[in-house]
Amino acid sequence: MSEYYLFHDSSKCIGCLSCEVHCKENKRLPVGPRLCRVMTVGPKMVGGLPKVDFIFMPCFHCERPWCVAACPTGAMQKRAEDGIVFVNEELCVGCKACMRACPWGVPQWNPETGKAVKCDYCKDRVDKGLEPACVAKCVTKCLHFGRPEQMVDSRRERHAKAMAAVGWEVTLRQPTAPASKPRKPPVRKQAE
């Protein structure tokens, strides 16, 4: 497991897909590889309100990465100092073993170079003390990058603030008052 955690606060995510482009812009990628993805599921009704789920899928930078084990040339590596899993492009021969090995479909194909490319938490930026591209420019600031313990704390803090602001009886998102009668699905009016 890398020393970092990229926390996606899905309640603040609006599925605008900006993170995907920020990432591509920083890596100067062609059309094709998408190193992080926001997968949208829905809308569906949950508790009387429509819900859309956004699942953020960067690389998880595993403790024992499938892709590193599968790579026959040593191109796929895990950085000793912080656990970031990355591709050394010079060593990659484009065999796609990493793409087959990863259970989450993280390693991507770069048609311009004929090699694998993947999320490396923008280590070029991280090494300069900056946040990964997806985090730095996130529209709603729903992406957070840092140490895992900090991420958890920020969530608690947010919840506490919300509680204090609206009173304990109201959670972040709940209908004001239960509808006084069950909601009927709308029906078409007769044509005139």
Partner 1 sequence: MHKEVYSICFMCTVRCPIKVTVEDGAVRWIEGNPHQLKGALCAKGSAGTALLNDSERLRYPMIRVGARGEGRWKRVSWEEALAYSAEKLQEVISKHGPESVVFGERQNLNTHLSKTFMRALGSPNHYTHDALCKGSVNTAFRTLTGYTDAQVTIDYANCKHIVLYGRNIFESLELKPIQALMDAMEKGSRITYIDTRATITASKAHRFWLIRPGTDLALNYALMNVILRENLYDETYVNRWVSGLNELRGFVEAMTPEWAEEETGIPAEEIVALAREISRDKPQVVFHYGYRGANHTNEIYFRRSIIMLNALMGSIESKGGLIIKKTAKDAGYGAFAKLVDQEGLPKPKAPRFDGVGGDLLPICDPAHGVGQQLPLAILKEQPYPIKAAISYRFDPLLSIPDYNQNKRAFDKLDFILTIDVNFSETAWYSDVVLPESMYLERSDSLQMADGPRPTIYMRRQCVPPRYDTKPYWEIIKLLAENLGVGKFFPYNTIEDIWNYQLKDMGIPLEKFEAKGFVALSDKPIIWDRKDGIKFKTPSGKIEFISSLMEEKGFASLEPYQSPSAPPEGMFRLTVGRNAVHTHVSTQNNPYLNELVPTNVLWINTVEAAKLGISDGQYVEVSSDQGWGRIKAFVTDLIHPEAVFMLHGFGRQVPVTTRCYNKGASDTALQKNITDMVGGSPGLHDTFVRVRPA
Interface positions with partner 1 (CB under 8 A): 12, 14-18, 20-22, 24-26, 30-32, 34, 42-45, 49-52, 136-141, 158, 161-162, 165-166, 170, 172-177, 179-181, 183, 185-192
Q: Which is nearer to partner 1, 20 or 79 (CB)?
A: 20
- Please give the torsion angle defined by the CA atoms of residues 63, 64, 65 and 71, in that order, rounded to the nearest 10 degrees: 140
DSSP-derived 3-state class of residue 184 = coil
Rounded least distance, CB 15 to partner 1, Å = 6
Of 31 and 80, the one with the shorter C-beta distance to partner 1 is 31
- Considering the complex, state which of residue 58 and residue 65 has its C-beta at the smaller distance from partner 1: 58
Smallest distance, partner 1 to C-beta of residue 26, A = 7
**Nearer CB in complex with partner 1: 102/133:** 133
Provide, rounded to whole angstroms, the least separation between the CB of residue 143 and partner 1: 10
Question: Closest separation between CB of residue 167 and partner 1, Å?
Answer: 8
Tell which residue, 83, 52, 51, 78, has the closest CA to residue 147: 83
Kindly write down the DSSP assignment for every residue of 69-126, as one continuous string: HH-SSS-EEE-TTT--EEE-TTT-----HHHHH-TT--SEEETTTTEEE---TTHHHH
Minimum CB distance to partner 1, residue 52 (Å): 4
Rounded to whole angstroms, the Cα distance separating 156 from 114 reads 44
User: Which one, 2 or 108, has the nearer CB to partner 1?
Assistant: 108
Within a 13 Å sphere around the CA of 16, how many CA atoms are in the beta-carbon half? 14
